[in-house]
Structure 1
């Protein structure tokens, strides 16, 4: 058994509360509704409002919808503009749900972890409405509800800020050291560090793993099958 495998076993075995990121560890939300298409529509909406100048040249080329949303919030925090852009992004997330691709082994991991007594929450930079719709469609909502914490138009609360993790911990009555965060991005790792929660990285490719390692994630799995194997051995 490698040191990394032993670390996975220890993290999974000790966790009484599991805080999941959504897009990545649970599913690939934009698998059938490309994120670049969403970013293009958001830029088009800004252009229609005569506000495309709010974005830098680099931001105009970025295919991540969250980059556009955060840029608008940096320049006009708490404005009707940010509320409208956030709602547009949520609209597209909800459109993406029916064609989202489940992360391999995520469904049985969620069900098995619940069956052995862990309590689960979602802590995501996506809309809570989106996560709820997806989980309901997969028959998994009962494993999480009501503990689904996601994006609002208060964008300063998004990860890497630990706001949603702290909300989940408080609602679950969980001490940080008794919890585990599962995420696939540096912002997930950073939020877990800020909240004092142990972190398990999920990386579906080498690029994701490099980014997580650069964010000081010490334990990273390429497949949730490793987590399922530990759970089935309990």
Structure 2
């Protein structure tokens, strides 16, 4: 199946209920964004699988191969490696150094990240119509700031960027970063909206009581979101941009 066909398949399944999307947009006074996915493809060129492999090799060189299961050693997700080590040695110097190495790799990736189609104008439009925006991500906040600055989007989010801290057990699906954003912005969960592309995003939003809009760039991601329980999913941010523009027009509610 080609990527175009995959996108069409997602569109057929997920954009059949524009009223549900409009309801989410209409009620959102605060919008919480995941970063890698809805805003950009962070590892579009600096591949995540290479970063994961490098982290595993770094551990093995230090004689720490036994810290990871066979599946964890073969993972394509560097976050899996970081979480695995933190579960076995929480709060250790090893975890701190591993997190710092991952942050450096994410910063490299940020310089070649691919913006998600329609994300930049959607962010600017949502800001223009009076909604407040925040980022709630498992990536490093330093990386988020670097990317936003490169796109001229910093003012749309600052100071509300909530990313990975040394407390790795509080990353999504824990709702910690969402709750931090809501508390800092003085927002009720029901007046907010979370945009994410993974099951952990959905589960964190559910735990925080925040309505959720799934973004799935292919059929596989859409299926995973649906399995987790997400009900409103879009294959493109274009209909979201249209709905936000409509909300900002006089006489449109």
TM-score when normalising by structure 1: 0.98
Q: Where does residue 97 of structure 1 map in the other structure?
A: 110
The whole-number CA distance in structure 2 between the counterparts of 1:118 and 1:223 is 20
Pick one of 136, 144, 152 that aligns with 1:131: 144
Q: Where does residue 72 of structure 1 map in the other structure?
A: 85
Q: Where does residue 192 of structure 1 map in the other structure?
A: 205
CA contact (8 A) 1:86 1:152 kept: no
Q: Where does residue 214 of structure 1 map in the other structure?
A: 227
Gaps of 5+ in 2: 1-14, 248-253
The whole-number CA distance in structure 2 between the counterparts of 1:46 and 1:63 is 16
Query: What is the aligned length?
Result: 233
The whole-number CA distance in structure 2 between the counterparts of 1:59 and 1:3 is 38
Q: By how many angstroms is 1:133 displaced? A: 0.5
Q: Where does residue 56 of structure 2 map in the other structure?
A: 43
Deviation above 6 Å: which 4+ runs of structure 1? none
Q: How does 1:113-132 map to 2 (within 5 A)?
A: 113-132=126-145
TM-score when normalising by structure 2: 0.91
Q: Where does residue 81 of structure 1 map in the other structure?
A: 94
Give the secondary-structure state (helix, strand or coil) at the position aligned to 1:63: coil
| RMSD of aligned alpha carbons | 0.8
The whole-number CA distance in structure 2 between the counterparts of 1:9 and 1:230 is 6
The whole-number CA distance in structure 1 between the counterparts of 2:244 and 2:87 is 42
Q: Does 1:172 align with 2:195?
A: no
Q: Where does residue 13 of structure 1 map in the other structure?
A: 26
Q: Does 1:183 align with 2:199?
A: no
Give the secondary-structure state (helix, strand or coil) at the position aligned to 1:78: coil
CA contact (8 A) 1:162 1:194 kept: yes
The whole-number CA distance in structure 1 between the counterparts of 2:86 and 2:245 is 44
The whole-number CA distance in structure 2 between the counterparts of 1:52 and 1:111 is 46
Q: Does 1:231 align with 2:244?
A: yes
